[in-house]
Amino acid sequence: MSMKLVMKALLLGGAVLLAHEGHAQTPAQPQSPSPTQTQPPTPAVPAAARRVLAPRRVVAPRRTGVAPVRARTSGVMEKDGLTLKDGRAVLTELGLTSPLEQDKRLLNGTTVTPKGQVTSPTGELSQMAEGDYVSLTGRLTTKREIVDADSVRKLVAYDLKHPGKRKELEKAREKAEKEREKAAKEAAKAQAKNNH
């Protein structure tokens, strides 16, 4: 019987404490001072006396578990897509590279097998060659096209960095070639003269 009384008293005391805390946390309604009441002015705090907080430091969240392995490249992240390396299709997606384990269906309906066989949405079959690239949208680019595009990109970058330099080099090459032809003609004339 006494245990029941103790439990009731504890429950009642807890309820009273909760009610008291709830009352203490509710904001008090501000009372507007009556025109006859005036409040004393609050003293101004000098700027030197104010507490200055240091800026917050940004902290990276802690990672748990095993992080995914990123592809080791020469400092340049590989484009997302499929390439054929050593006779196997390799998939790069979101910067992560792994060998293709099963057929991969791309956005336009193209299917690529782990051996590099490409089936277009119309049913045409083709085999990827070493270094060929298939984008995740299904566009096949041969290694030769990649090299040609890279060469053009390098020429454009060189022209931007050294405007007019390639034209100067071309003119100098043409001038040297003309001088060689002229020297060859003069040598032929001199030899013909010596033969007579």
Q: pLDDT (tens digit, 9 = 90+) per residue, 83-92?
A: 888 888 888 8
Interatomic CA distance for residues 44 and 127, integer angstroms:
82
Interatomic CA distance for residues 71 and 104, integer angstroms:
19
Interatomic CA distance for residues 148 and 142, integer angstroms:
10
Residue 185: the pLDDT is: 92
Tell me 47's DSSP state: G
b or e along 143-175 (b: 16 or more beta carbons within 10 Å of the residue's beta carbon)? eeeeeeeeeeeeeeeeeeeeeeeeeeeeeeeee
Give pLDDT tens digits for 51-72: 666 777 777 666 665 555 555 5
User: In the predicted model, is pLDDT for residue 1 greater than 70?
Assistant: no
Residue 70: the pLDDT is: 56
pLDDT band at 6 (very low <50, low <70, confident <90, very high): confident
Tell me 98's DSSP state: E
User: In the predicted model, is pLDDT for residue 119 greater than 80?
Assistant: yes
Count CB-CB contacts under 10 A for residue 111. Answer: 14
User: In the predicted model, is pLDDT for residue 143 greater than 90?
Assistant: no
pLDDT band at 164 (very low <50, low <70, confident <90, very high): confident
pLDDT band at 45 (very low <50, low <70, confident <90, very high): low
DSSP strand pairing (96-99 vs 111-112): unpaired
DSSP strand pairing (133-134 vs 140-141): antiparallel
Strand order across the beta sheet in which 140-141 lies? 96-99, 88-93, 81-85, 133-134, 140-141
- Specify whether the CB–CB gap between 101 and 115 falls below 8 A: no
pLDDT band at 145 (very low <50, low <70, confident <90, very high): confident
Tell me 84's DSSP state: E
User: In the predicted model, is pLDDT for residue 74 greater than 90?
Assistant: no
Closest CA to 140 of 125, 128, 148, 124: 128
Residue 186: the pLDDT is: 92
Of 29-33, 71-75, 97-101, 190-194, which gets the smallest average pLDDT? Answer: 71-75
Residue 182: the pLDDT is: 92
Arithmetic mean of pLDDT over the chain: 78
User: In the predicted model, is pLDDT for residue 20 greater than 70?
Assistant: no
With a CB cutoff of 8 Å and minimum separation 6, the contacts of 130 are: 84, 85, 86, 87, 143
Token pair listed for 49: 């006396």
With a CB cutoff of 8 Å and minimum separation 6, the contacts of 181 are: none
